[in-house]
C-alpha cells in the first residue's frame, strides 16, 4: 500500500499538471456502476456514481494537498468550495494524458475506473488494479469521520508529543510497537515498509509492547520514522509492486531499504525472521533487534 512518501510524490507530480484546470466531465467504469448496483460501492464511496459524475462538472481544481495517506483535491464552483478525496488503496495510480493509449502499462489502462476530462483537453485518469482505493466527493472534511481522527503530520512540531502521549494510553500501551506506529491515529502515513525500516534502524524488535520501550527509545524511533519518510520522499517513494507516481513513474527508495522483505540482515549477515503483526508481515533481525 502506498504510504506517506508515495502519496506525497503523487501530489507533487499532479499539482503542476492539473491545478487551475476545470473538470468538464467525468465518467466511471462499468465496474464502478456494477458495484454500486450491487451495493458494494466499488471505488466511488458515499455517493451514487451518476450523482458524482454530475456534481463535479465545471468544477475548478483549486489546489491539491496530501494529508496522511490521502490526496485532497480542493474544488471550486460558483464561489463555493468542495473536496474530492482520493485514497490509493493497494494499487491506485493517477495519470494525466491526452489519450488512454499514452498509459503504457496495459494493467493500468485496463483498470481505469475514473476518467476526468479537463478543459485543457487532457484526461485525468484514476486506475486501480485491485480496487481497494476510493474516491469521495464531500463538502468538507467533517463529512468523512475518520479524517478527524488522523494524527498530526509526522513533521509537525506537535507530532512527537502526540506520539508519546498515544503510546501511554491503555488502547495502545500493550500492543506491539509495530502495530502502534502503523496506526494512522498515532502517526500519520507510516505503514509496513517504513515501520519495518525505522524499527530496524533503532534496533527495536517489532513485537515489543509499546509500554516496554523507554522514553529514549520512543523518541529515537519517532526520529527514525521521520528520517526514513523524508529519505523516501527525496527518492520518489518505493515501487514494490503496483505503486506508480503520476504517468507511470517508479520510485527509487526500494533500492535503499535495509530490512523490508530481506532474508539476510545487512548489519550482522545472519538470517532474518518474519512475524505477522496487525495483518502485515514484519521482517526483523532476531540478533540485532531486541
CATH topology assigned to domain 4-149: N-terminal domain of MutM-like DNA repair proteins (3.20.190)
Query: Is 270:287 a contact under the CB 8 Å cutoff?
Result: yes
Q: How many CB atoms are located within 10 Å of the residue 242 CB?
A: 21
Q: Where in the chain is the domain with CATH 3.20.190.10?
A: 4-149
Report how far apart, in Å, the C-alpha atoms of 142 and of each of 180, 181, 184 are: 25, 24, 17
Tell me whether residue 142 is exposed, middle or buried, using C-beta atoms within 10 angstroms of its C-beta: 0 to 12, 13 to 18, 19 or more. Answer: exposed
| Of 2, 49, 154, 176, catalytic | 2
Q: Provide DSSP, 52-103.
A: HHHHTTTEEEEEEEEETTEEEEEEEETTEEEEEEEE-TTTEEEEEESSGGG-
CATH code for the domain defined by 159-284: 1.10.8.50
Report how far apart, in Å, the C-alpha atoms of 86 and of each of 92, 207, 231 are: 9, 32, 24
Query: Is 205:290 a contact under the CB 8 Å cutoff?
Result: yes
3 an active-site residue?
yes
**Greatest distance between any 2 Cα atoms in the chain:** 63
Q: DSSP character for 285?
A: -
69 an active-site residue?
yes
As a 3-state breakdown, the chain gives helix, strand, coil percent values, each rounded to 5, of 35, 25, 40
Cell 523524508, residue located? 230
21 an active-site residue?
no
φ/ψ of residue 126, rounded to 5: -110, 120
Q: Which residues contact 86 (CB under 8 A, 6 or more apart)?
A: 70, 71, 72, 73, 92, 94, 126, 133, 134, 135
| Of 66, 69, 178, 205, catalytic | 69
- pTM greater than the 0.85 cutoff: yes
φ/ψ of residue 239, rounded to 5: -95, 95
pLDDT at 241: 66
| Of 27, 175, 280, 286, catalytic | 280
Query: Is 192:181 a contact under the CB 8 Å cutoff?
Result: no
Q: pLDDT tens digits for the chain (290 residues)? A: 689 999 999 999 999 999 999 999 999 999 999 999 998 899 999 899 999 999 999 999 999 999 999 999 999 999 999 999 999 999 999 999 999 999 999 999 999 999 999 999 999 999 999 999 999 999 999 999 999 999 999 999 999 999 999 999 999 999 999 999 999 999 999 999 999 999 999 999 999 999 999 999 999 999 999 999 999 999 988 876 667 778 777 788 999 999 999 999 999 999 999 999 999 999 999 999 99
| Of 3, 6, 53, 153, catalytic | 3
* 3-class secondary structure, 19: coil
Amino acid at each position: 500500500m502506498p504510504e506517506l512518501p508515495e502519496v506525497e510524490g503523487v501530489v507533487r507530480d499532479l499539482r503542476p499538471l492539473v491545478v487551475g484546470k476545470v473538470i468538464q466531465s467525468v465518467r466511471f467504469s462499468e465496474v464502478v456502476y456494477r458495484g454500486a448496483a450491487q451495493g458494494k460501492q466499488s471505488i466511488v464511496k458515499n455517493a451514487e456514481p451518476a450523482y458524482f459524475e454530475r456534481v463535479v462538472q465545471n468544477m475548478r481544481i483549486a489546489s491539491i494537498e496530501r494529508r496522511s495517506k490521502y490526496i485532497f483535491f480542493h474544488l471550486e464552483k460558483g464561489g463555493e468550495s468542495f473536496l474530492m478525496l482520493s485514497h490509493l488503496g493497494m494499487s491506485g495510480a493517477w495519470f494525466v494524458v491526452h489519450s488512454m493509449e499514452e498509459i503504457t502499462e496495459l494493467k493500468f489502462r485496463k483498470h481505469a475506473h475514473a476518467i476526468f476530462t479537463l478543459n485543457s483537453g487532457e484526461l485525468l485518469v484514476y486506475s486501480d488494479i485491485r480496487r481497494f482505493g476510493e474516491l469521495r466527493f464531500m463538502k468538507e472534511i467533517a463529512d468523512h469521520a475518520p479524517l478527524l481522527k488522523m494524527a498530526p503530520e509526522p513533521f509537525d512540531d506537535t507530532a512527537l508529543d502526540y506520539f508519546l502521549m498515544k503510546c501511554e494510553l491503555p488502547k495502545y500501551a500493550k500492543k506491539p510497537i509495530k502495530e502502534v506506529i502503523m496506526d494512522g491515529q498515532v502517526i500519520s502515513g507510516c505503514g509496513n515498509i517504513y515501520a519495518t525500516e525505522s524499527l530496524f534502524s533503532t534496533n527495536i524488535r517489532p513485537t515489543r509492547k509499546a509500554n516496554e520501550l523507554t522514553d529514549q527509545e520512543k523518541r529515537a524511533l519517532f526520529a527514525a520514522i521521520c528520517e526514513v519518510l523524508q529519505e523516501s520522499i527525496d527518492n520518489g517513494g518505493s515501487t514494490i509492486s503496483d505503486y506508480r507516481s503520476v504517468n507511470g513513474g517508479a520510485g527509487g527508495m526500494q533500492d535503499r531499504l535495509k530490512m523490508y522483505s530481506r532474508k539476510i540482515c545487512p548489519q550482522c549477515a545472519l538470517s532474518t525472521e518474519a512475524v505477522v503483526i496487525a495483518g502485515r508481515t514484519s521482517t526483523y533481525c532476531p540478533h540485532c533487534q531486541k
